[in-house]
Amino acid sequence: MSAVSTAEQSTYQAETKFGRFTDFVDQRVGGSGILKEFGRKVFPDHWSFMFGEVALYSFVILLMTGTFLTFFFDPSMAETHYHGSYSPLYNVEMSVAYNSSLNISFEVRGGLFMRQVHHWAALLFVASVSVHMLRVFFTGAFRKPRELNWVVGGVLIILAMAAGFTGYSLPDDLLSGNGLRIIDGVIKSIPVIGTWISFFLFGGEFPGTAIIGRLYVLHILLVPALILLMVAVHLFMVVVHKHTQYPGPGRNDRNVVGYPLGPVYAAKAGGFFFIVFGVIALMAGFFTINPIWNYGPYDPSPVSAGTQPDWYIGWVDGALRLMPGVIGAVDGYRQHFEFIIFGHVLTLNVLLPALVPAGIVFTVLFTYPWIERWITKDDREHHVLDRPRNAPTRTAIGVAGFIFYCVMWAAASSDLIATHFKVSLNDVTYWLRALFFIGPVLGFIVAKRVALALQRKDREIALHGRETGRIVRLPHGEFIEVHAPLNDYKRYRLVSFESPKPLPAQPNSHGVVDRKERRRAKFSTWFFEDRVAPITPAELEAAHAHGHHGEVESGEETKSLSH
């Protein structure tokens, strides 16, 4: 292409100092296009959009504190004796990794603080990724054209858990060592290759002397690099698609309404980074997390009661706890869940809970956009979000999945629930086993009914206005509560949603309704049969005509806004 600065010298002179600086950079690197594209790019604003930001910012904080920690951490499993300032462990035999973790905590000024920030930020990272994902699901933000970005998000949550778990194990303390041992036990249950994978992972028998170094490489190199890559792809797609927006007056699938990036949105989002950092710093300053010096170095013999994994691993651990290994009495009928098949061991009591629930959750998670698309036959682009109540069946599916997850998560604390509420541990487990199956079904039914009820409430308000709390006595003695009609903007918020009807089976190109299509139609009925339609102007007209005295009398409050 033609050179940037040849013969024709522009006479343009920026007037302000900052303008001249911008121009200087622009003339050398040509950033004007980027600035023009992004400088005033419009971003919709909503509190629920912040979860993704929290995730991004906690990841940045993780990178910063993590880098600091690598300067002092030594991932070796060689044996050493502790000679640091924490007297209870003086001269205790331990690994170099644990020793250096103690030194970071007690010898390096600010080291404990960095560890605390790192750990809290990690917990918050996975939490915010999860909540962000829930937000995206319940608002239908995964629909076309964002299905692939939803998948990238699913990969990110797996990577986030992987990053968390590999990091959790590094200090080589008693607690994390037991966690690794559980992982080893689960790996060994894998048919055919389990024992080999275990030996390859640990460089021999558990615990060996290799695992910490290997996890360290995964934790500080491979996993964060993959997360960075995925975050870049994730954000790139956000730019390509532009952000979704909540429904409301002036918003539709063809526009994006919000604040310009510079200065307002950038200031809010940028300022928010510091707020996230500040909150994590407060937590790190005041609340101890993972006090490894209390646990002691890893030793295969002791274990403390009430041990808990970090929260995001809880659901997998809980699933392990829920599965019964044996059904029946010791001296009566007995069914084991470990089977010997052709001389080989199939230990379903470990394999099933380790694979099946996670398998269900992630399979549904990754395929859901396509499942819903198939059922609804909706091939349109969606940039306006659904309020969760306006998609009752999807919301119910989400709640069912959430409860499925939470039951397993609660099961990871079954012993603490038992001791805290002074109930039998066995009973807690039996209840949770029942809830594992019943909970999602109940959750589905209740959530769907709640969503439909909220939709009906919206209809009521849109038709008859909001309750003002003003009781008026009419001349003939009747008491009524005055309802104030909504203005156009508020009403539009309540009526501007789609409520599709079930889509009957359609003939294909040969004019035949095939079996698959009939099945789809059944799903469509299931998905859409319970529906509350938004009110129409005619209905509103009718409601007014019926003469709700209250409304008519208190009409002064609105209208005029539409000049």
Partner 1 sequence: MGNHSDGSSTSSSTVATAGQHDEGAFQDPGIPPHRPRLADKDPKAAKRAERQVAVLFIVSVIGTLVFLVTYFAIDLTNTSTTGTIGLQNMLLGIGTAFAMLGIGTGIVHWAKTLMPDHEVSEDRHALRTEEDRQAAVAIADTIIEESGIKRRPLIRNTLLGAVALAPLPALAVFGDLGPRPDDKLAHTMWAPQNGKLKRLTRDPDGTPIKASDVTIGSAFHVIPEGLNELESGKLNEKAKAVVLLMRLNPDELNPSKGRENWAYNGIVAYSKICTHVGCPVALYEQQTHHLLCPCHQSTFDLTHECAVIFGPASRPLPQLPISVDEEGYLVATSDFHEPVGPSYWERDEHERRLDS
| Stretch 19-48 residues interacting with partner 1 (CB under 8 A) | 40-42
DSSP label of 511: S
Which residue, 354 or 482, is less far from partner 1 as judged by CB? 354
Query: What does the alpha-carbon distance between residue 235 and residue 243 come to, in Å, rounded to a whole number?
Result: 10
Residue 252 touching partner 1 (CB under 8 A)? yes
Which residue, 285 or 507, is less far from partner 1 as judged by CB? 285
Using CB under 8 A, which of 53, 299, 530, 553 touches partner 1?
299
Q: Mapping DSSP to helix (H, G, I), strand (E, B) and coil, where does residue 80 land?
A: strand
Report the candidate in 450, 370, 353, 464 with the shortest Cα–Cα distance to residue 411.
Answer: 353
Q: What's the token pair of residue 108?
A: 């390096």
Site for partner 1 in 123-182 (CB under 8 A): 145, 178, 181-182
Q: Mapping DSSP to helix (H, G, I), strand (E, B) and coil, where does residue 523 land?
A: helix
Query: What does the alpha-carbon distance between residue 476 and residue 4 come to, in Å, rounded to a whole number?
Result: 84
Query: Residue 372: what are its φ and ψ, rounded to 5°?
Result: -65, -35
Cβ-Cβ contacts under 8 Å for 245 (sequence gap 6 or more): 44, 46, 251, 256, 257, 258, 383, 384, 385
Question: Packing angle between helix 392-411 and helix 515-528, nearest 10 degrees?
Answer: 80
Sign of CA dihedral 132, 252, 457, 404: negative
Which residue, 264 or 441, is less far from partner 1 as judged by CB? 264
Site for partner 1 in 359-418 (CB under 8 A): 383, 414-415
Using CB under 8 A, which of 495, 521, 532, 543 touches partner 1?
495
| Number of Cβ atoms within 10 Å of the Cβ of 230 | 18
List helix spans (H) across 290-347.
Answer: 292-295, 314-322
Site for partner 1 in 427-446 (CB under 8 A): 429
CA 242 to each of CA 136, 153, 342, 396, 493: distance values in angstroms, whole numbers, following the listed order: 14, 16, 57, 28, 22
Which residue, 96 or 112, is less far from partner 1 as judged by CB? 112
Query: What does the alpha-carbon distance between residue 408 and residue 507 come to, in Å, rounded to a whole number?
Result: 43
Sign of CA dihedral 20, 21, 22, 23: positive
| Amino acid at residue number 407 | V
Which residue, 105 or 130, is less far from partner 1 as judged by CB? 105
Using CB under 8 A, which of 141, 170, 256, 403 touches partner 1?
256
Query: What does the alpha-carbon distance between residue 59 and residue 52 come to, in Å, rounded to a whole number?
Result: 11
Using CB under 8 A, which of 367, 419, 468, 496 touches partner 1?
496
Q: What would you report as the CA-atom Rg of the chain, rounded to the nearest whole angstrom? A: 30
Of 19-27, 273-281, 402-410, 506-514, the segment contacting partner 1 by CB under 8 A is 273-281
Using CB under 8 A, which of 70, 228, 253, 514 touches partner 1?
253
CB of 206 vs partner 1, minimal distance in Å: 6
Using CB under 8 A, which of 275, 442, 453, 474 touches partner 1?
275
Residue 184 touching partner 1 (CB under 8 A)? yes
Using CB under 8 A, which of 1, 330, 512, 545 touches partner 1?
330
CB of 2 vs partner 1, minimal distance in Å: 25
Using CB under 8 A, which of 38, 366, 374, 492 touches partner 1?
492
CB of 464 vs partner 1, minimal distance in Å: 16
Cβ-Cβ contacts under 8 Å for 455 (sequence gap 6 or more): 389, 390, 392, 532
Site for partner 1 in 90-109 (CB under 8 A): 105-109
Site for partner 1 in 502-531 (CB under 8 A): none
CB of 433 vs partner 1, minimal distance in Å: 11
Task: Write the burial class of residue 355 (CB in 10 Å: 0-12 exposed, 13-18 middle, 19+ buried).
Answer: middle
Site for partner 1 in 46-65 (CB under 8 A): none
Query: What does the alpha-carbon distance between residue 150 and residue 152 come to, in Å, rounded to a whole number?
Result: 5
CB of 139 vs partner 1, minimal distance in Å: 17
Q: What's the token pair of residue 313?
A: 């691993």
Site for partner 1 in 471-490 (CB under 8 A): 488-489
CB of 340 vs partner 1, minimal distance in Å: 5
Site for partner 1 in 186-205 (CB under 8 A): 186, 188-196, 198-205
CB of 182 vs partner 1, minimal distance in Å: 5
Which residue, 248 or 502, is less far from partner 1 as judged by CB? 248
CB of 415 vs partner 1, minimal distance in Å: 6
CB of 356 vs partner 1, minimal distance in Å: 14
Sign of CA dihedral 275, 276, 277, 278: positive
Q: What's the token pair of residue 187?
A: 């790996």
Which residue, 171 or 258, is less far from partner 1 as judged by CB? 258
Residue 267 touching partner 1 (CB under 8 A)? yes
Of 3-11, 348-356, 358-366, 367-375, the segment contacting partner 1 by CB under 8 A is 348-356
CB of 79 vs partner 1, minimal distance in Å: 8
CB of 523 vs partner 1, minimal distance in Å: 26
H or E stretch at 133: helix 111-138
Number of residues that bind partner 1 (CB under 8 A): 128
Of 17-25, 48-56, 492-500, 506-514, the segment contacting partner 1 by CB under 8 A is 492-500
| Number of Cβ atoms within 10 Å of the Cβ of 466 | 13
Q: What's the token pair of residue 321?
A: 């706890």
